[in-house]
Structure 1
């Protein structure tokens, strides 16, 4: 019993119902030409994911249902079975999957387990479904569920396999974080083995605000074999499945027959063409480590720019590592013709920094503008001289320079319609080593979730993939500096980045307290200083540009600390602090 399965790993745009429907119909046509029997789309393919507060508008829900009707009509006289995500509604709203066949909506499944952690807020919007679903075609039994339903140990797969499902289809929108793709595949293999079934997992691909969806849809068999779609790009992934494998595996190994049904089950009889031979059994490589992070940053930037109606980006080129890497990612995402670098030297900018910025731009082939700020800076100082009389120069004068540069970049954005890229990294944002309305100014922060040490790793990876020094070697070797005063380096103010980043990761992503961090070999003063900086700069981060999430916990919707907050995160009279 062989079924040709197509996983339509598409890049949708939230709210673009017309565009999403057009893309869905194009993939239906392509799948039909390829002889696909079952075509699966990602979670909420009609609306895009996550639609957030759009689903609180009745007009949007109705338009989403009308869009689904257009897809249903498109399936008239088509043999393949189409399963796709949409927002269902009766008296409440549901994250749902529609099953379409030959112009009919033959079944609807409503997601039963709603995630409400990390970046997910589904309980804010949706009600949970109560019925598991099985589709029957002769000896083929298909269980349909959605994303989180498969991750929980006692989800609807339990009922579906108890009642004979040999194929589980999961519609998903699982956001990227570094290292997650391998763990996700391992979980799918575990589920396929313990429930003696094949699992077809169709994941979304593309960028949506700070989220990136990496695709890597997969078909996993209970004997441990897996077939994986491409990462970070659209694909109609086709696999011919011999579902007798699941039957034989169940006979040999059994499934968890002690499980009891905990939910109602709905069954629907349906007829579509099965095959008698196998033609498609392909698989792609999973990118890991720094490669997958780079791919996520490129995709996230490309989609943010294009989906928000921009074509060109601009960024300040300082000759430092952050702006150099941001420019490289921008060129990879958008093409060199759509990136403009702006040099804004001051009296404190070294000649080597200017040379490095120009060399980077030449190597990338991007256009540059030079707008010196020394005269503007001294004009500010003159204007403020009476107000500042009797005060020594301090960080105020440094921040004025950063804000002048932010003003220039925003002026270019206004004049030419360019999107400004903020180039700060996660280490700087965590500690407040960034100027509000200065270098934090911009429409999108491409390195917002990348620690400084990882910025260097990404830059090295980029140069290695290009087999030449696009980013000049001197940028790697010179001490990081904002160059806002004579002989300034970042380490005048901050701990060494190797130490700083480790402390930040332990606190932000692992949730360790100050005293627990000490157990990793750091000294009291460094830990205390770092966590005080993290806490006091929450107000800055709240006003920063959105950026791409790549870590377990990113600043943004994944980090919701109160600005007004009197809880001490550092050491308190020898007691533990969180």
Structure 2
């Protein structure tokens, strides 16, 4: 076990710090896009992160359309990947970038997982949208079309390739992440659902996701729900500034959720690159999975599907020796929201839970009177108010309250 030498370090208390980047891009300009990506990687490294994720097809830009079939763009995207790999040697963290890759005369929409110059794995997109404003099936092949499980890129060979890769970090704390791409989250059963059952506590989504009216609220709902059901952290990043607006618009929406709770969100429609960070409570996620016995039952039910996942060990050295204070902010009063509308709703629920409980107890015990010692303090006053409401519900006069 790794020696814990610094108490004031989030990594020594079951947390990890991650980053989600939204770089400004230029359409079909991988040189520029790689430079923007590397700059955000540098910023993330300065904040002691161990993982940074970038948008779908971020090295080429998402809106290249039929230019994706041009060899010049594909070669330039490969060169951009090499640029990112070379730059990554300066930092210990893992970075995940999106790019198009030609493999066996098919074009795949991929995410490359990189650390210190090494490509640890390549994940192709599982589900390709071909409805409404999306035409990805025109340019790309789905992951199921792949005929191999390893690829060679940037002078590196036998790189794991496939949509079912789990990347494990045996650090302090140990954690596992899984990568899916955009539409993979929008289908009835996202690949990340099975990945969570297979052990992934951190789920990544490299997305493009154009903006339409009220779509941000739907994204929030989607990511929050998936992180809650999977008892996982979910990192979501979408394309932003610089993408073509010929047919679509882009807001650069990035989100970090943990077990249904929002930890960080980007500034939408920002005309420049941006980076958000968050501290994830890995030990809490593991504890929640142990506590929720139906999570384990799901593992047993889908055990045959889970055997298809390949596990990749990531030689990441967690920065446990440095002083790294938490950025995460906890509510001083977690049960009393600061938002008045939420506070009113919470108080309504708490009040009626007590009223319902008391009314049912009186009914079950066939009692039509209650005795309360009223001191004038908050507790006894609240008990009196609850009792009065319970009497109203049961049809008893309030004079049955003996105070």
Above 0.5 in TM-score? yes
Secondary structure of the structure 2 residue equivalent to 1:71: helix
Matches within 5 A, 1:74-153: 74-91=87-104, 92-130=106-144, 131-138=163-170, 139-153=174-188
Matches within 5 A, 1:141-290: 141-206=176-241, 207-209=243-245, 210-233=247-270, 234-253=273-292, 254-255=294-295, 256-257=298-299, 258-259=301-302, 261=305, 264-274=308-318, 279-281=326-328
CA drift of 1:88 comes to 1.5
Aligned to 1:45: 58
Structure having the higher Rg = 1
Higher relative contact order structure (alpha carbons within 8 Å, sequence separation ≥ 6): 2
What number of residue pairs does the alignment pair up? 283
Is 2:263–2:278's contact at 8 Å kept on the other side of the alignment? no
Instruction: Check if 1:35 corresponds to 2:35.
Output: no
Q: TM-score, normalised by structure 2?
A: 0.66
Q: 1:223 to 1:8 in 2, by over 3 A?
A: closer
Is 1:132–1:159's contact at 8 Å kept on the other side of the alignment? no
CA drift of 1:282 comes to 6.8
Q: TM-score, normalised by structure 1?
A: 0.47
Show structure 2 runs of 5+ residues with no match: 1-13, 145-162, 331-403
Secondary structure of the structure 1 residue equivalent to 2:250: strand
Identify, as 1 or 2, the structure richer in strand: 2
Which runs of at least 4 in structure 1 moved beyond 4 Å after TM superposition?
Answer: 275-278
> Could you report, residue by residue, the CA deviation over 1:396-455 in whole angstroms, capped at 9, with x for unpaired residues?
xxxxxxxxxxxxxxxxxxxxxxxxxxxxxxxxxxxxxxxxxxxxxxxxxxxxxxxxxxxx
> Could you report, residue by residue, the CA deviation over 1:314-358 in whole angstroms, capped at 9, with x for unpaired residues?
xxxxxxxxxxxxxxxxxxxxxxxxxxxxxxxxxxxxxxxxxxxxx
CA drift of 1:63 comes to 1.7
Q: CA RMSD in A?
A: 2.0
CA distance in 1, matches of 2:91, 2:113: 13
Is 1:204–1:213's contact at 8 Å kept on the other side of the alignment? yes
CA distance in 2, matches of 1:160, 1:56: 32
Name the stretch that deviates more: 201-210 or 170-179.
201-210
CA drift of 1:22 comes to 1.1
> Could you report, residue by residue, the CA deviation over 1:462-518 in whole angstroms, capped at 9, with x for unpaired residues?
xxxxxxxxxxxxxxxxxxxxxxxxxxxxxxxxxxxxxxxxxxxxxxxxxxxxxxxxx
> Could you report, residue by residue, the CA deviation over 1:103-129 in whole angstroms, capped at 9, with x for unpaired residues?
111111111111111211111111111
